[in-house]
Chains A and B, each alone.
Chain A
Amino acid sequence: MSDSKKRRPGLESVSPVVPVQTTYYVPERDVDKSPILQCINLGISFGGLKAVEDFNLTLGRTEIAGLIGPNGAGKTTIFNLLTKVYQPTHGTILLDGKDTANMSTAQVNRAGIARTFQNIRLFHNQTVADNVLIGLHNEMDYGMLGGILRLPGYWRAEKIARQRAMEYLALFHLDQHADELAGSLPYGAQRRLEIARALATNPSLLLLDEPAAGMNPSETAELMENIVKIRDTFHIAILLIEHDMSLVMNICEGIAVLNFGRLIAKGNADAIRNDPTVVEAYLGRKGAKES
C-alpha cells in the first residue's frame, strides 16, 4: 500500500476529503423519482491492484451524465463492472433498485444496460441492418423450431424487427447503408451504428464509451444533438465517458470525476469546474495552488 502511495502523487489528499453527498447528485427533474442506477462502494482489484475502489454513484432516470477523469483512472473499468464483463470484487450495483450481483453480461443487458465500446466492436462481416437485428434479438420471441420450420410467428416477428431496425438506422442516418457490410462504413458511421445497435436492445441505461473519439467537430456537434435526442425520445439515462470537455460540459447534467479508481466528485458542470479536488486531479497539486 505504501508503495502505491509513492507512485501516486496526490492520492493521500483525495480519499478522506470526498464529500460523500456529491455522489448523490441527480438533476432536479429526477430528484423525486427512484434512481435508475446506484453503485454502492463498488470496487475491483486485479491481483492486489485496486483498479476501482469505493465507487459510489447515483444516476437519475433521465439523466445524461458524464464520467471523466485522467487516462488510466478506471473509467472503462467502471463500464466493465456495470456490464459484468468483470465481476466486482466488492460493492453493489442496483439497476432500477434490483441487485445485479449474480447476473452475466447478457443478463445485465436484458435487465436494461446497453453499451458501446471504446474500440468499436461491431459485427464487421454482417450488414448494417443485421447488426441492429442482432440487437433486437431478445425482442423477437419465436423459438428455434419456429425459425427452422418458418412458422407464422417467424414471419411476423422478422417483419416487425426489420421495420424497427430500419427506424433505428434512420435515427442515425444509416438507413441508406442498411445492406452494406458494417466493417465497410466510415469510422464515424460505425460509432453511430454501435449506438443504434445498443439502443435496439431497449435499455433503460445507455453507456457510451468515448462516443466522440475520432470524430471531427461537425460530427461531434451532430452526436451531441443525437445524444440529447435519444434521451428525449426514449426517456432513458445515458452515462458517457468522454475526453472532449466541450461535449461533456455542454450536454451532461451530472458529471462524475474519477481519479485513481475513486470518485472524487459529482455535480453539474459549474460545480465540477470549481471543485478544487477536480482541478488538482487534472493539473496536479501545483496547478491547484496556482489557479
Chain B
Amino acid sequence: MNMKRYLKDARSDLLTYAGVIIAFIIISTLKSHGALNRSQSGLLVPICCYIVMAVSLNLTVGILGDLSLGHAGFMSVGAFSGVVTAMSLMNVIPSAPARLALAMLVGAVCAAIVGFLVGIPVLRLNGDYLAIVTLAFGEIIKELITCLIVGVDSEGLHVIFNVNGSKTANDLTLLDGGRIIIKGAQGATGTKTIATFSAGFVLIMITLVIVQNLIRSRHGRAIMAVRDNRIAADSVGIPVTKYKMMAFVTSASLAGAAGALFGLNYSNLAAAKFDFNTSILVLVFVVLGGLGNIWGSIIATVILYILPEALRGFANYRMLIYAIVLIVVMLTTNNPVLKNYIASLRSKFSKDSEKEASAS
C-alpha cells in the first residue's frame, strides 16, 4: 500500500503549519518584550499579506501552471472592498477584530467574483497569451478603482464612478458627519487601521489549510493533472475549465482577503500601489520559493521582503543589489551542473533516510 507516500505528504504539511506557528510565537514574544523597533514591527502585517499573496499565487502558477501577471489586481479589489466594509460598519460593529474579519471575508468574496469574471476569458487562453491578458486585467482593475469615489453617511454608501476626471468628493453630497472613504486617484484616505499581526497569522493559517488540503484532495489532483497534461486530463473525464476556474477563483479570493488586511493596515492607500510591479514582486517570491512549493513561497517572501529593508544601509544601491541578487539566484539555481549536484545529494539523502526507516 502506498501509505508511505501519504504519510510523507501529511508530515510535510504539518511541518509547514508548525513552522508558521513557531515563527509567530517567537515574533510575538520579541514584540511584547519590545525587541522590535517601530519599522521592524511595521513590516509584520505586510509580510503576512505578501505570504498569503505568494501562497495563493503559487496555486495559480505552481499548481495550476498558468502564469498570472495580474495577481495584485485581486489584492486591490480585496483591499478597497475591505476598507469600505470596515469603514462603513464602524458604528454598527464596534469590535475591531470582528470588523476586520468581516472586511477580509468581504474582500475575499469580492475578489472571488472578480476572479470568476476575469477567469471566463482568461482561462480560454494559454501560455504567454494568458499571461498578457492577466496583466491587462490587473491594469484595468487598477484604473477602474482609480475612478472610484466612495463615501458613507447616515443614509448609507455613496458611490461615484468618475470616468472623465471631472468629479470630486464633494459630488458625493454627504450629510453632516459623513466620511469619505475612497477619493479617486488618492485612494483610501483616513482609514482607521485595525489590521494586526495576529490577524495576519490567522489568515496565513487559513490560507495554508485551504491550499494544502486542496492540493491533497481529488480536486487538487485534477488541477495538477490539467497542468501536467491537459489532453490526458480531459481523456480521463476531468472537466478542465471547471478545475482551472476553481484554482483561479480560490487564488483570487485568498488574494482578496490578504488585500483587505493590507488595506486596513494603512491610513492612506492609493490604487496605484497595486500595479504590475506588485504582481511581479509576488511572482518573484513564488518562483524563487519554487513552483508548487508552499513552504518555499513563505520563506522566499520573508527573505525577499526583508532584504530591501535590510539593505537600507546601502541607501540608493539597495534596489540595484536586489536586482543583482535576483539575477544571480536565478542563474545559479538553474545552472545544470549545480542542479545535478543538488539532485544527487538529495537522492543520497533520501536513500539514507529510507535505510534508517527500514532498519528501525
Q: Which residue numbers of A lie inside 8 Å of B, CB to CB?
A: 83, 85, 104-107, 109-110, 114-115, 117, 121-127, 129-130, 133-135, 137-138, 140, 142, 144, 147-150, 154, 157-158, 161-163, 165-166, 178-179, 197-198, 200-201
Whether the pair B221, A134 counts as a contact (CB closer than 8 A) is yes
Across the interface, A137 reaches (CB within 8 A) one of B2, B216, B237, namely B237
Contact residues, B146-176 vs A (CB, 8 A): none
Whether the pair A179, B2 counts as a contact (CB closer than 8 A) is yes
Q: Please indicate the chain B residues that have their CB under 8 angstroms from the CB of A123 in the complex.
A: 224-225, 228-229, 232-233
Instruction: Say yes or no for B124: interface residue by CB 8 A criterion.
Output: no
**8 closest residue pairs by CB, A with B:** A147-B217, A109-B237, A121-B232, A105-B234, A178-B2, A123-B228, A179-B5, A129-B2
Shortest Cβ distance from residue A16 to the other chain B in the assembled complex, whole angstroms: 36
Contact residues, B197-243 vs A (CB, 8 A): 209-210, 213-214, 216-222, 224-225, 228-229, 231-240
Whether the pair B5, A147 counts as a contact (CB closer than 8 A) is no
A and B contact pairs by CB, cutoff 8 A, 15 listed? A106-B238, A122-B229, A123-B225, A126-B221, A127-B5, A133-B218, A134-B221, A134-B225, A144-B214, A144-B246, A147-B219, A148-B214, A148-B217, A149-B213, A178-B5
Instruction: Say yes or no for B33: interface residue by CB 8 A criterion.
Output: no
**Dominant SS among interface residues on chain B:** helix
Whether the pair B2, A162 counts as a contact (CB closer than 8 A) is yes
Q: Please indicate the chain A residues that have their CB under 8 angstroms from the CB of B355 in the complex.
A: none
Given A110-B237, A149-B213, A198-B236, 4 new contacts (CB under 8 A): A123-B225, A137-B225, A147-B219, A154-B217
Whether the pair A201, B236 counts as a contact (CB closer than 8 A) is yes
Q: Please indicate the chain A residues that have their CB under 8 angstroms from the CB of B232 in the complex.
A: 117, 121-123
Cα distance A124–B227 when bound, in Å?
Answer: 11
Q: Please indicate the chain A residues that have their CB under 8 angstroms from the CB of B238 in the complex.
A: 106, 134, 137-138
Across the interface, B218 reaches (CB within 8 A) one of A122, A142, A197, namely A142
**Dominant SS among interface residues on chain A:** helix
Contact residues, B243-274 vs A (CB, 8 A): 246
Shortest Cβ distance from residue A170 to the other chain B in the assembled complex, whole angstroms: 11
Whether the pair B221, A137 counts as a contact (CB closer than 8 A) is yes
Q: Please indicate the chain A residues that have their CB under 8 angstroms from the CB of B1 in the complex.
A: 162-163, 166
Whether the pair A105, B213 counts as a contact (CB closer than 8 A) is no
Q: Please indicate the chain B residues that have their CB under 8 angstroms from the CB of A142 in the complex.
A: 217-218
Q: Please indicate the chain B residues that have their CB under 8 angstroms from the CB of A114 in the complex.
A: 235-236
Whether the pair A129, B236 counts as a contact (CB closer than 8 A) is no
Cα distance A142–B220 when bound, in Å?
Answer: 12
Cα distance A135–B228 when bound, in Å?
Answer: 14
Q: Please indicate the chain B residues that have their CB under 8 angstroms from the CB of A85 in the complex.
A: 231, 234-235
Cα distance A273–B240 when bound, in Å?
Answer: 43
Instruction: Say yes or no for B38: interface residue by CB 8 A criterion.
Output: no
Cα distance A24–B222 when bound, in Å?
Answer: 38
Nearest chain B residue, comparing its CB with the CB of A194: B232
Shortest Cβ distance from residue B344 to the other chain A in the assembled complex, whole angstroms: 15
Q: A147-B214, A148-B210, A148-B213 are in contact. Are A105 and B235 (CB under 8 A)?
A: yes
Nearest chain A residue, comparing its CB with the CB of B292: A125
Nearest chain B residue, comparing its CB with the CB of A207: B235
Shortest Cβ distance from residue B5 to the other chain A in the assembled complex, whole angstroms: 4
Q: Which of A107, A123, A158, A166 counts the most chain B CB atoms within 10 A?
A: A123
Q: Please indicate the chain A residues that have their CB under 8 angstroms from the CB of B229 in the complex.
A: 121-124
Q: Please indicate the chain B residues that have their CB under 8 angstroms from the CB of A197 in the complex.
A: 236
Shortest Cβ distance from residue B338 to the other chain A in the assembled complex, whole angstroms: 21
Nearest chain A residue, comparing its CB with the CB of B216: A147
Q: Please indicate the chain A residues that have their CB under 8 angstroms from the CB of B221 in the complex.
A: 126, 130, 133-134, 137
Nearest chain A residue, comparing its CB with the CB of B232: A121
Shortest Cβ distance from residue B205 to the other chain A in the assembled complex, whole angstroms: 13
Cα distance A124–B214 when bound, in Å?
Answer: 20
Cα distance A47–B237 when bound, in Å?
Answer: 29
Q: Please indicate the chain A residues that have their CB under 8 angstroms from the CB of B225 in the complex.
A: 123, 126, 134, 137
Q: Please indicate the chain A residues that have their CB under 8 angstroms from the CB of B220 in the complex.
A: 147
Q: Please indicate the chain A residues that have their CB under 8 angstroms from the CB of B213 in the complex.
A: 147-150
Cα distance A129–B1 when bound, in Å?
Answer: 10
Nearest chain A residue, comparing its CB with the CB of B221: A134
Nearest chain A residue, comparing its CB with the CB of B231: A121
Q: Please indicate the chain B residues that have their CB under 8 angstroms from the CB of A115 in the complex.
A: 235
Shortest Cβ distance from residue B92 to the other chain A in the assembled complex, whole angstroms: 29
Nearest chain A residue, comparing its CB with the CB of B250: A144
Q: Please indicate the chain B residues that have their CB under 8 angstroms from the CB of A117 in the complex.
A: 231-232, 235
Nearest chain A residue, comparing its CB with the CB of B218: A140
Shortest Cβ distance from residue B261 to the other chain A in the assembled complex, whole angstroms: 20
Nearest chain A residue, comparing its CB with the CB of B234: A105
Cα distance A161–B216 when bound, in Å?
Answer: 13
Cα distance A137–B213 when bound, in Å?
Answer: 16
Across the interface, B235 reaches (CB within 8 A) one of A83, A133, A162, namely A83
Cα distance A25–B314 when bound, in Å?
Answer: 83
